[in-house]
Amino acid sequence: MKAIKLASNDNVATLLGDVEKHEVVEIISADNEVIAEIKALQKITFGNKIALCDIANGEQILKAGHSIGKSITEIPLGQLVHVQNVRSERLDIPEAIIEEIIKQMGIEK
Amino acid sequence: MTATFKGYPRPNGTFGIRNHVMIVAIDECCEGIARNISKEIEGSVVVTNHYTCMYGGNEEMIDTIIHTGINPNIAGVLVIAMGCGSIDPELVAGPVRAEGLPAHTLTVIKNKGTIETIKDGIELAKQLKAHADSIERVDAPVSALRIGIKCGGSDTSSGLASNPSVGAASDKLIDLGATTMAGELLELLGCEDILKARSVSPEVGDKIERLIAEDLKRWHVIEGTETMSIGNSVGGLTTIDEKSQGAMHKTGSRPIQDCLRISHIHREKPTTPGFYLTETTMLCGGSAMHFASLGAQLILWTAGAAGFNNSIVPVIRVSGNSSLITADMDINACGIMDATDTIDNVSNKIVERVFAVANGDKTNLEGVGYAYASLYQKDQRLEHVIGICPQ
């Protein structure tokens, strides 16, 4: 399965299909060139993001060249980057809704 | 790449890509009269004030009608009033005439009633149509091209495929000398710093921030508000910042010349070619008429869903969602989603399509179905109450 890294300084890539835990993901650039292979640390579904490097706690998550929020914990290479480990820098999703998203998606914490 | 398009020259120096006669029902009671006239005139479009026959409090909407009347795609205007309300049809016809376009008015109760007015209206509209038909397309500079950019029914593919492709097309069109415009300020929540950095001056940056904040207040977005659906998040959007940036990608990367205000006292328009933010509403139907009033000749629409059309400003549809690719869709961006196509390549197709449509090719849904010319306006009284009514 492929995941697209939209800008060169991004630390996440977006999955173009579903991957299972331990499956290898081909990371492609916006020009469709394969630039890396990364093993997914958990199941990640289409449209979600995978960490392209180890991300420290409190670091900005960069997608398409811009910050989409900050990590609230260390995020290892290959991990799903989503509501369980990132918060908005502008206006958070209410906590109860985050819990519901984690439940619906079966995210391993 | 061509640096010109074939447009209909207007007396005020603009160039239309369509050549419509516009029939205005300036109060709601005239709608049927306007439609009966329009039935007899090929290529005519009806714009109705469906709110009221009173002027006070509706200045913003009437102003949208006036400025749509001088949109380059309009060759002439007929304004019908019932005559018992307070909106003088000359309010619209006067400014249209001042731009050098033919404009007529009919007031039903001064014109022996509905039946006679329809007869007279058809005669006047035929004159306008004959005038329109006498105008031929000529070479027009790309700098005369204004394009609105809008998204609707967004999904995962919008942020990854259709929005970035339209953004890249916008950059290319601007580099060729055109003007592009986006609106939906509410949906740029969380993008303020990025947009400020793209502004041509700190003043424009501050204006963007202020007008986004006003829209958040207008739509009552506060701490604890659900700004995204659970479906958005399950689909992969982690924060409102990410969702907004997905929408922002359709605006490309060129400098932001200004953030143009639309209100009962402001109708700011582009002054030099380039990219503009505007107060164009996020509501699809109303947005088309906002873009029309700012002089846009066509709209690029990134679609997670179908719908949305306008009979004055043609709409080019772009989608990266394979389940939505039907005969309605102008540009298929699905190849980006399975890594068989690139944003750069799709954006080239969009630019080509823009020029083809500007030169007269119909968009896939142009003239198909029916689109009401929705007129959105802000509630001035409410704006006063929440303290954001511009003075």
Could you read off the pLDDT of A33-42 as tens digits, one per residue? Answer: 999 999 999 9
What is the ipTM score, two decimals? 0.97
Domains of chain B, by residue range, sit at 20-134, 142-358
Could you read off the pLDDT of B251-283 as tens digits, one per residue? Answer: 999 999 999 999 999 999 999 999 999 999 998
pLDDT of residue B70: 98
User: Which CATH number is B20-134 given?
Assistant: 3.40.50.360
pLDDT of residue A4: 95
Mean pLDDT, to the nearest integer, of B218-240?
A: 84
Q: Chain-wide mean pLDDT for chain B?
A: 94
Residue B310 token pair: 């306008």
Query: What beta strand segments (E) does A1-109 contain?
Result: 2-5, 12-15, 24-29, 34-39, 49-51, 60-63, 66-71, 80-81, 86-87
B interface with A, Cβ–Cβ < 8 A, is 156, 160, 164, 189-190, 194, 221, 223-228, 230, 233-242, 245, 249, 337-340, 342-344
B156 to A46: CB separation less than 8 angstroms, yes or no: yes
Mean pLDDT, to the nearest integer, of B131-159?
A: 94
Percent of chain B with pLDDT over 90: 80
Mean pLDDT, to the nearest integer, of B31-35?
A: 96
pLDDT of residue B345: 97
Contact list in A for residue B194 (CB cut-off 8 A) is: 66
A48 to B221: CB separation less than 8 angstroms, yes or no: no
Nearest to A104 among B227, B230, B239 (CB): B230
| Domains of chain A as residue ranges with CATH | 2-105 (2.30.130.110)
Could you read off the pLDDT of B349-359 as tens digits, one per residue? Answer: 999 999 999 99
pLDDT of residue B320: 94
Could you read off the pLDDT of A50-97 as tens digits, one per residue? Answer: 999 999 999 999 999 999 999 999 999 999 999 999 999 988 999 999
User: For residue B345, what is the nearest residue in chain A, using CA coordinates?
Assistant: A31
Nearest to B227 among A87, A89, A91 (CB): A91
B241 to A15: CB separation less than 8 angstroms, yes or no: no
- Give the confidence band of B156 by pLDDT, cuts at 50, 70, 90: confident
Provide the shortest C-alpha distance from residue A48 to chain B (in Å).
4
Q: Does A4 touch chain B (CB under 8 A)?
A: yes
Beta-strand pair B103-107/B15-16: unpaired
Considering only residues B308 and B83, tell me which one the structure prediction assigns the higher pLDDT. Answer: B83
Which of these ranges, B84-88, B230-234, B372-376, has the smallest mean pLDDT?
A: B230-234
> In this model, does residue B390 exceed pLDDT 70?
no
Provide the shortest C-alpha distance from residue B164 to chain A (in Å).
10
- Give the confidence band of B219 by pLDDT, cuts at 50, 70, 90: confident
pLDDT of residue B193: 94
Interface test with B, best of A5, A49, A66 (most B CBs within 10 A): A66
Q: Contact B278/B182 with Cβ under 8 angstroms?
A: yes
Mean pLDDT, to the nearest integer, of B159-184?
A: 97
Could you read off the pLDDT of B291-349 as tens digits, one per residue? Answer: 999 999 999 999 876 678 999 999 999 999 998 899 999 999 999 998 999 999 999 99
pLDDT of residue B223: 75
